[in-house]
Chains A and B, each alone.
Chain A
Amino acid sequence: MILSRVLLPLALAIILAGFPRLERWFAGWEGNRTQSTHALAMLLGDSRKLLANHLFVRADVYFHSGYYPTIFDNREAYATPHIGEDAGVMDSANTGDEHVFMGPPRDWIERFGRHFFPSAHTHLGDEHCAHCEEHAHAAHEDAHAHGHAHDHDDTAGNTEEYREMLPWLRMSVAMDPQRIESYLVAAYWLRERMGREQAAEAFLREGIRANPNSHELYFEMGRIALDARGDANRARHLYDVALRKWEQSQTALAEPDFFMLAQILAYRAAADERLGRVDLAIAGLEWAENISGAKGHYRPRLERLRQQQSSAHDPDPPRDDGPAGRSQ
């Protein structure tokens, strides 16, 4: 009786008195998800970012046809997903040899067990490790330095197989629309390896809508304009936008993303070169060379451009060494 006559009205009074205050606090609380327009964000909160990262790594697992280290293996050669590294959008933290993360088998169970899961290094599109014997580093032209024994052959095998890793990247973006790497990597593989620049551009536009201040997305848009469309003017404009966005977002940071800045400058120099603005191209490359982590990486290009510049004033120019040495 006491319970129903005293405690119940008291509890109701506390609830009614406390509700407006609690409601105001909840509306202003940072962890409040009810304001989110994204259903997954409301449902999963920040855990969707972890899930997005996992899905991104799954794309790398597919790139290696299932041959991938677990948390129990040596992951030194897989610290940075290779799909991001190959796309030239992630600075490599990989060391060691990606072929031997398992090491020699310790016992007969391990030796026998390796028959039943992918235990040899391959990449999507390769004809079952034909490339493993030849460590084709020299063919790698992305503007980043490899600190580990990572190889691939861009032209070998069935490039249509690259599509198999794209669903994971798409799902990664669905989980976390702010995950820039997923847009960049998917766009790179769509454009560069599958020749689907329209799909790549549409995906990047979606990324820009979700992340209007991302310098990386404008950089990738510039690559589509320059490499796929051959529109150097538009590419130059996009790289300028990327540079502006970089300055806005990175200069105040303790550790600015110099890797991406060097990429933007190097590609902008390539656009300048195509537009015949050799002076600007040299200036851009010198800047990139100064800030690049891989010292001397741009030196051959710089020397060639300087030669080109001096030969423009020289009445008897030296013989051109063809387009092979020009590409970035």
Chain B
Amino acid sequence: MNTVFTVGAVVLKEAYRRKDVYVLFFLTVLLTLLAGTVTFFEDLSMVRLVKEIALLLIWIATLVIAVTMTARQIPMERESRTIFPLLAKPIARSELLLGKFWGCWLATGLTLLVFYAFFGVVCASREAEWAWGQYAQALVLHWAMLAVVIAMTLFGSLVFAAPSSTNTIVLVVVTGILLMGRHLGKVAMALPEPQQSILYGLYFVIPHLEFFDVRDLIVHAWPMLAWPVVGLALLYAAAYTAVFLSLAVWTFRRKSLT
């Protein structure tokens, strides 16, 4: 386990030496503040639009950070040939992969903390009531969703030829699930057989990442989710993360590194 944490710590350090996290954070801050300065009908107290823009930017930024950071981990080690001295040490391939996952997930978690702290400040500056509990739930669910995405990307980085193709494919799949996942069942019902069964089957197989997207609940000031519901969603995320990590480990064990 120590080996996993050590690899993770290296990934974390590497993540914070790069500029992309800071660039995306400042872009989010800038765009949110710009949106916040726009007034409509001389009323500065409108908050939902600013919340929606801020959360959308946070989702885009963290998704991009998680996918691009994860997609380059293994290919970068192979390209710079540092993977060979690394694997010459007493470390299993599965441990290396789990360390990479842990480092990426931790880095995105810390990034999320910064992003949500900023979001909290923006909301606090405009709203009388601070829904910290809701923000905490949103952060936890968002982080759990990113675990699935990171595991999926790690698996993709071992299957696809280059980080660029992994980035593109994973981002398209994740965006597709977020936008369409909820409706696949309904779309399937309108199709003839065998398309119906195929699509309905796919609907049950894909990870429903939209479960973790509670932006509408936050924007429109809905009450907090029940914690058992959040717990079940976390279990769901853990299951899919385990599936993708297992697939990644299985692929990595059989992969030639030369």
Give A contacts to B, CB under 8 Å.
62, 65-66, 70, 72-73, 106-107, 109-110, 112-113, 115-118, 128, 160, 163-164, 166-168, 170, 186, 190, 196, 199, 203
- Residues in B with CB closer than 8 Å to A166 are 40-41, 43, 46
Question: In the assembled complex, how far is the CB of residue A311 from the closest CB belonging to chain B, in whole angstroms?
Answer: 45
Which of B46, B141, B182, B183 is close to A164, meaning CB atoms less than 8 Å apart? B46
Which of B38, B45, B46, B211 is close to A113, meaning CB atoms less than 8 Å apart? B211
Is the beta-carbon distance between B187 and A72 smaller than 8 angstroms? yes
A72-B186, A106-B185, A128-B223 given as contacts; is B213 within 8 A of A116 (CB)?
yes
- Interface-central residue, A62, A73, A167, A170, by most chain B CB under 10 Å: A167
The answer to the question of B210 belonging to the interface, with a C-beta cut-off of 8 Å to chain A, is: yes
Is the beta-carbon distance between A110 and B185 smaller than 8 angstroms? yes
9 more CB-based (< 8 A) A-B contacts, given A107-B204, A113-B211: A66-B217, A70-B183, A73-B186, A112-B229, A116-B211, A117-B182, A117-B216, A118-B220, A186-B41
Which of A65, A107, A116 is close to B210, meaning CB atoms less than 8 Å apart? A116
Is the beta-carbon distance between A117 and B185 smaller than 8 angstroms? no
Question: In the assembled complex, how far is the CB of residue B85 from the closest CB belonging to chain A, in whole angstroms?
Answer: 45
Is the beta-carbon distance between A72 and B183 smaller than 8 angstroms? yes
- Residues in A with CB closer than 8 Å to B45 are 160, 163
Q: Which 3 pairs from chain A and chain B are nearest by CB?
A: A65-B220, A72-B183, A66-B216
Is the beta-carbon distance between A113 and B41 smaller than 8 angstroms? no
Question: In the assembled complex, how far is the CB of residue A168 from the closest CB belonging to chain B, in whole angstroms?
Answer: 8
Question: In the assembled complex, how far is the CB of residue B151 from the closest CB belonging to chain A, in whole angstroms?
Answer: 20
Question: In the assembled complex, how far is the CB of residue A47 from the closest CB belonging to chain B, in whole angstroms?
Answer: 21
Closest residue of B by beta carbon distance from A120:
B222
- Residues in A with CB closer than 8 Å to B189 are 106
Is the beta-carbon distance between A112 and B212 smaller than 8 angstroms? no
The answer to the question of B203 belonging to the interface, with a C-beta cut-off of 8 Å to chain A, is: yes
Question: In the assembled complex, how far is the CB of residue B133 from the closest CB belonging to chain A, in whole angstroms?
Answer: 15
Which of A62, A118, A170, A186 is close to B48, meaning CB atoms less than 8 Å apart? A62
Question: In the assembled complex, how far is the CB of residue A35 from the closest CB belonging to chain B, in whole angstroms?
Answer: 29
Is the beta-carbon distance between B41 and A190 smaller than 8 angstroms? yes
Which of A109, A163, A168 is close to B43, meaning CB atoms less than 8 Å apart? A163
Is the beta-carbon distance between A170 and B220 smaller than 8 angstroms? no
Is the beta-carbon distance between B211 and A118 smaller than 8 angstroms? no
Is the beta-carbon distance between B183 and A203 smaller than 8 angstroms? no
Question: In the assembled complex, how far is the CB of residue A121 from the closest CB belonging to chain B, in whole angstroms?
Answer: 12
Give B contacts to A, CB under 8 Å.
38, 40-43, 45-49, 141, 182-183, 185-187, 189, 203-204, 208, 210-214, 216-217, 219-223, 225-226, 229, 232-233
Closest residue of A by beta carbon distance from B211:
A116
Cα–Cα, bound, A122→B202 (Å): 33
A109-B204, A116-B214, A199-B42 given as contacts; is B220 within 8 A of A62 (CB)?
yes
Cα–Cα, bound, A34→B194 (Å): 52
Closest residue of B by beta carbon distance from A124:
B220
Is the beta-carbon distance between A109 and B208 smaller than 8 angstroms? yes
Cα–Cα, bound, A138→B210 (Å): 39
- Interface CB pairs A-B, < 8 A, 6: A118-B216, A118-B222, A163-B41, A163-B46, A164-B48, A164-B49
Question: In the assembled complex, how far is the CB of residue A4 from the closest CB belonging to chain B, in whole angstroms?
Answer: 40
- Residues in A with CB closer than 8 Å to B223 are 128
Cα–Cα, bound, A155→B225 (Å): 28
Which of B41, B46, B216, B217 is close to A196, meaning CB atoms less than 8 Å apart? B41
Cα–Cα, bound, A115→B231 (Å): 12
- Residues in A with CB closer than 8 Å to B48 are 62, 164
Is the beta-carbon distance between A113 and B187 smaller than 8 angstroms? no
Is the beta-carbon distance between B225 and A115 smaller than 8 angstroms? yes
- Residues in A with CB closer than 8 Å to B187 are 72
Cα–Cα, bound, A203→B232 (Å): 49
Is the beta-carbon distance between B220 and A66 smaller than 8 angstroms? yes
Cα–Cα, bound, A66→B183 (Å): 17
Closest residue of A by beta carbon distance from B222:
A118
- Residues in A with CB closer than 8 Å to B40 are 166-167, 170
Cα–Cα, bound, A170→B187 (Å): 34
Cα–Cα, bound, A254→B233 (Å): 56
Is the beta-carbon distance between A115 and B208 smaller than 8 angstroms? no
Cα–Cα, bound, A160→B189 (Å): 42
Which of B203, B212, B216, B220 is close to A109, meaning CB atoms less than 8 Å apart? B203
- Residues in B with CB closer than 8 Å to A110 are 182, 185
Closest residue of A by beta carbon distance from B188:
A106
A107-B185, A116-B225 given as contacts; is B46 within 8 A of A167 (CB)?
yes
- Residues in B with CB closer than 8 Å to A196 are 41
Closest residue of A by beta carbon distance from B229:
A115
Cα–Cα, bound, A65→B221 (Å): 8
A164-B48, A164-B49 given as contacts; is B42 within 8 A of A113 (CB)?
no
Cα–Cα, bound, A175→B224 (Å): 35
Closest residue of B by beta carbon distance from A114:
B182
- Interface-central residue, A73, A106, A128, A164, by most chain B CB under 10 Å: A164
Is the beta-carbon distance between B220 and A113 smaller than 8 angstroms? no
- Residues in A with CB closer than 8 Å to B226 are 115
- Residues in B with CB closer than 8 Å to A107 are 185, 204
Question: In the assembled complex, how far is the CB of residue B109 from the closest CB belonging to chain A, in whole angstroms?
Answer: 20
A72-B183, A164-B47 given as contacts; is B212 within 8 A of A116 (CB)?
yes
Cα–Cα, bound, A72→B216 (Å): 18
Cα–Cα, bound, A66→B212 (Å): 16
